[in-house]
Amino acid sequence: MRSVILAILILLPPTARADRDAARESYQQGNELFDQSRFADAAAAFARAIEADPKFFEAAYNHALADEMVDRKKAIVDWSKLAETAANAPDFKYQVGQADARVQILKMLPDYPDALQPSHYVPSASDYYSVIAEDSESDRWRQFPLKVWIGDVPNGNWAQGVREAFGIWKEMIPMELTPDPDEADIRFDWDTEQSMADGHAGEESDWVQFQRVGNDVTSRKVAHISIAQARNWSRDEMRAISLHELGHALGIRGHSPSKGDIMYWQVQEGRRRVPIPGVYYPLVIKSLVSKPSQRDLNTLIRLYNTPGVVTRMN
Ligand SMILES: [Zn+2]
């Protein structure tokens, strides 16, 4: 056995071995940077690894993944190249299939507004994409600005709260109010008291609306936000609830594990319908987040720019 190993070592020229070590080192750096959400730096490290060892397919895979959060065009080139160079590698068949699929999806993604471009991702704030990714997969909007119908808000305080929430999100994601409910992408419904009897503050669900135009039936997504009326919400509470439900409507199908995020509070209790005897929505009162955090935004940016959930290679 020992002689076999020696023979292999002798066959490899020393420079090739040095290159491989260098490639390994860059690969490891890339992985660490990727895990810190420093995607541009990670992509650069993976590029160095591939340069030192062009057959380092794991590095090429992670390189493409990092570039999705840097520049879509670069990512398309990366994945295509990987599919080509690894086409005959028996151990990489599955990943080559994934590379092909990601090229197709990336090519079909629409042009996003500036706010959703990867350049607005702030690495130091990181994200909770991995928590919501699986459920949020198919919920990206394709056309902006989104049209929002606020509807007939039952009282003035609430109307102010909802409008403030709309205004805050609008600063970040292009949306506009519409007076026509049939035209709305996102609509608030205020007559749903019955369905949320057990402590829900609000609820958001997507409906598919079918329309017949001539002989064609077209479908489109409409996000419905319902807010429980059983309680006398203050304006601040209404703003916080609306901010949160709008976050769901924008595509975040899950909740942040951190209290400072708009997609944190209320939720666990609300969505899973855990009754808290004698306490009606404690989190709403305790931790009113006044606007989406950079983590909330980072999560949206990652969701919109990542064509399907995969984890980096080890
Ligand atoms: Zn929620």
Report CA(245)–ligand 1 centroid distance (Å): 6
Tens-digit pLDDT profile for residues 263-311: 986 543 333 333 444 444 444 444 577 899 999 999 999 999 999 898 9
CATH assignment of the domain containing 101: 1.25.40.10
Residues 65 and 140 in one domain: no
Q: What pLDDT score does 290 carry?
A: 84
Give residue 283's pLDDT: 41
Are residues 130 and 93 part of one domain? Answer: no
**Cα 269 to averaged position of ligand 1 atoms, centre (Å):** 9
161 and 285, same domain (yes or no): yes
Residue 216, strand partner residues? 213
The answer to whether residue 97 sits within a structural domain is yes
pLDDT at 193: 59
The structure's pTM equals 0.86
In 3D space, the residue among 192, 183, 296, 194 whose CA is nearest the CA of residue 246 turns out to be 296
Q: In terms of domains, do 88 and 194 share one? A: no
Q: What is the DSSP string of 162-182?
A: HHHHHHHHHTTS-EEE-S-GG
pLDDT at 10: 59
Question: What SS3 state is found at 306?
Answer: coil
Q: What distance in angstroms lies between residue 139's CA and the mean position of ligand 1's atoms?
A: 15
- Spatial separation of the C-alpha atoms in residues 85 and 68, rounded to whole Å: 19
Q: Which residues form the domain of 255?
A: 123-305
**Within this chain, do residues 167 and 131 fall inside the same structural domain, yes or no?**
yes
Q: Tell me which residue of 198, 284, 197, 175 sits closest to 240, measured CA to CA.
A: 284
Q: Ligand 1 centroid vs 214 CA: distance in angstroms?
A: 38
CA distance 270 to 201: 7
Q: How far is the CA of 112 from the centre of ligand 1 (A)?
A: 25
| Nearest of 223, 242, 151 to residue 191 by alpha carbon | 151
How high is the pLDDT of residue 210? 78
Shared-domain flag, residues 274 and 221: yes
Of 46, 78, 108, the domain-final residue: 108
> What residue ranges of the chain have pLDDT lower than 50?
197, 267-286
**Are residues 233 and 156 part of one domain?**
yes
Query: 231 and 264: one domain?
Result: yes
Ligand 1 centroid from CA 78, angstroms: 36
Q: What is the pLDDT of residue 267?
A: 41
- Cβ 178 vs Cβ 145: under 8 Å: no
Residue 313 counted as domain residue? no
Per-chain residues with Cβ under 5 A from ion ligand 1: 267
| 175 burial type by CB count under 10 A (0-12 exposed, 13-18 middle, 19+ buried) | buried
Tokens for 87, please give them.
Answer: 């086409």
- Whether residue 102 is found in the same domain as residue 128: no
User: For residue 205, what pLDDT is reported?
Assistant: 83
Q: How far is the CA of 15 from the centre of ligand 1 (A)?
A: 56
